[in-house]
Each structure stands twice: as structure tokens, then as C-alpha cells.
């Protein structure tokens, strides 16, 4: 999976730095011209008229593996880019679109909402909570296994492709991105509104029964599908199953937002320089039902951020072994 973080101030592509014009100043005579200034090397443009003044355009990014959806709005000065959202080609199941209350709704052919994409009103960018299609619950452990219940929350079949499952634990206000990694090894079809019991294979720390997980205050499971095409076109095939209510950020590759509090989430990536000793954290606050990007501090360490502790508006960041890496005061 590819990585795209798109905000109103710039466009960042994982593995390279591509700085776009300030989107608030990007205007042109036609919707296509307004987005081609930001994505000049993209091809295969398609357009969808959403209203008298809002048009959605889709292009194929130069990597040939990602679709970028760009919404434009008509202004007195011309057309402005007011939303960009990256989707892996193999995961792109958007069949139709509508515009409601300043938000683009993307639907599966079955009519299920796959994504809610608020248009940018002012910097920084706004993100709706991701549409919840599957809920994962830890039910037990065994030798080299995690036992999990997958519940389909939709009215149509959902296909879980093989993929990895990351474990997030919360205890006494500390959120830990666990170094335990498990995999769903086989393709699994969830019937509409149905539940299926899964066995997730432990792929690190072999010969270990992680019994301690069952004693944690809270355990969340985040699923990321392998980058392979779904085998059933009529089923929804999610690329990711996040913790409930997390912001819909588009393509994130191996990174994803995690819940620090009910109103605070964080995602991180390698710094734009690509240096191994640089991690950029992206913090988001939930305000009036919409996630807003609030800060992008950088952790300079070869150790990966894995533990987070919130004290009011201060966030303390640690590695998996408990070494303190940084602390930040959020706006």
C-alpha cells in the first residue's frame, strides 16, 4: 500500500518530497486545470459532477497504483482544489458519489458508504470518522494464536483478505502500539450482519502465548489487508479496519491513526527527509463530529514511537521499552 497525507497546506508523498501550491490559492479556468497544477504528472482523468459548483475528478498517480480523488469548487477567481484523497487501485471500490452538507460521500455498488470526505473549509484539513464496516474483538489466546471475533456491520458481504493485524492496548491512560504482530492467513468472507471467529497467527515472538493481553484494560485490533486484489467483486473488501471512530485519512501504507483519547488520535510516518532517525507525528482532535489536524511535531530518534501518555494537552512519547523520546504540548 502507498502512503499519502494530504492537507490544505501541502502534499506529501512517502519516499519523496513534493510540495504543492497553497491550495487556498490554487484556482484556474476549469476544474481539471486547478488539480493538474497540483498533480501535473497524473493521467487517466475522470470527472463526476456533484453540484452546480463542486466537481470531483479522479486521476491515476505516477506510481500507477494509486487513484487520487480531487474535489474542486467554483469561486469568483476560478476553480479551487478543496479536497484530495488517495485510494489504492486494488482497494478502490468507489462506485458513485454524492455531496451532502459539505461532505463527499463515496458509495459501494451495494449502496454502503465507504468513505466520508469533508471539503476543506479553512486550514488545517478536516476528516470525517471512517465508515465502520467491520468490528474486531479479542476473545482469547492460545499457543502462537490470538482468537478474534469479526462482526460485519453492513448489509452486504465483507471480504477480509489475508493481512496483518496490529495490537493496540490501553491501560491507566497509556496507549501502546504492541510489538506483537499477528496475521490473518486465509481469506475470510463475512456474511451480512454476521459474525465469524478468526484465528490470528502470531508471527513474532514465536512459542509465546500472550495471555497477558486478556488482563489488559482495553485491547483493540487494527487490520491491514495485503496489497492483493479482492476475489469477490460484490463484497466490500476493506483495506483497513481501524479502531472505531478514527479519522479517514486516505492511503497510509503501514501507518494508521490510533486512539489516544476519545477526542485525540495520532498517526506517524518517517520524516519527509526519509532519515531513519526522524518520525513525524500527526495529531488530530475530534471537534463537532469532525477530526481536525492540529499539529505535526517531529521525534528525532532511531527508536520508534510505541507508547503514548496524555496528561491534559501534553503528550509524552516513549519507545516500546519505555525510553522517553519526546513530549509535546498540543494547541
73, β-bridge pairs: 54, 80
The DSSP letter of residue 120 is P
Q: How far is CA 104 from CA 120, 211, 297, in A?
A: 11, 43, 29
**pTM metric for this prediction:** 0.86
The residue assigned the cell 456491520 is 153
> What would the pLDDT profile of 163-177 be if each residue is shown by its tens digit?
999 999 999 999 999
- Beta carbons within 8 Å of 146's beta carbon, 6+ residues apart: 138, 140, 165, 167, 182, 199, 200, 202, 210, 213, 221
Nearest to 305 by CA among 272, 329, 282: 282
Residue 167 burial class via C-beta count within 10 angstroms: exposed 0-12, middle 13-18, buried 19 and up: buried
> What would the pLDDT profile of 43-81 be if each residue is shown by its tens digit?
999 999 999 999 999 999 999 999 999 999 998 888 999
The DSSP letter of residue 194 is -
How would residue 23 be classed by pLDDT, with cut points 50, 70 and 90?
A: very low
> What would the pLDDT profile of 212-229 be if each residue is shown by its tens digit?
888 999 999 999 999 899
Amino acid at each position: 500500500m502507498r502512503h499519502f497525507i494530504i492537507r490544505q497546506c501541502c502534499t506529501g508523498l512517502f519516499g519523496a518530497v513534493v510540495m504543492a501550491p497553497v491550495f487556498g490559492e490554487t484556482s484556474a479556468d476549469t476544474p481539471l486545470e486547478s488539480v493538474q497544477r497540483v498533480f501535473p504528472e497524473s493521467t487517466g482523468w475522470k470527472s463526476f459532477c456533484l453540484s452546480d459548483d463542486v466537481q470531483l475528478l479522479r486521476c491515476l498517480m505516477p506510481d500507477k497504483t494509486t487513484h487520487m480523488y480531487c474535489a474542486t469548487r467554483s469561486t469568483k477567481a476560478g476553480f479551487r482544489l478543496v479536497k484530495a484523497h488517495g485510494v489504492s487501485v486494488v482497494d478502490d471500490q468507489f462506485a458513485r458519489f454524492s455531496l451532502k452538507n459539505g461532505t463527499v460521500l463515496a458509495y459501494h455498488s451495494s449502496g454502503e458508504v465507504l468513505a466520508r470526505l469533508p471539503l476543506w473549509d479553512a486550514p488545517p484539513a478536516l476528516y470525517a470518522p471512517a465508515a465502520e464496516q467491520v468490528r474486531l474483538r479479542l476473545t482469547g489466546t492460545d499457543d502462537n494464536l490470538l482468537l478474534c471475533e469479526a462482526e460485519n456491520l453492513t448489509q452486504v458481504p465483507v471480504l477480509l483478505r489475508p493481512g496483518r493485524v496490529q495490537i493496540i492496548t490501553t491501560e491507566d491512560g497509556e496507549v501502546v502500539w504492541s510489538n506483537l504482530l499477528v496475521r490473518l492467513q486465509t481469506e475470510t468472507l463475512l456474511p451480512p450482519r454476521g459474525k465469524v471467529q478468526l484465528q490470528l497467527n502470531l508471527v513474532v515472538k514465536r512459542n509465546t502465548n500472550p495471555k497477558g493481553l486478556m488482563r489488559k484494560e482495553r485491547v483493540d485490533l487494527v487490520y491491514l489487508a495485503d496489497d492483493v486484489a479482492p476475489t469477490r467483486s460484490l463484497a466490500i473488501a476493506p483495506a483497513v479496519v481501524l479502531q472505531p471512530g478514527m479519522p479517514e485519512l486516505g492511503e497510509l501504507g503501514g501507518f494508521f491513526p490510533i486512539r489516544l483519547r476519545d477526542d485525540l488520535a495520532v498517526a506517524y510516518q518517517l520524516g519527509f527527509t526519509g532519515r531513519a532517525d526522524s518520525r513525524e507525528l500527526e495529531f488530530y482532535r475530534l471537534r463537532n463530529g469532525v477530526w481536525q489536524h492540529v499539529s505535526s511535531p517531529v521525534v528525532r530518534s532511531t527508536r520508534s514511537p510505541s507508547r503514548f501518555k496524555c496528561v491534559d494537552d501534553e503528550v509524552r512519547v516513549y519507545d516500546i521499552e519505555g525510553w522517553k523520546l519526546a513530549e509535546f504540548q498540543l494547541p
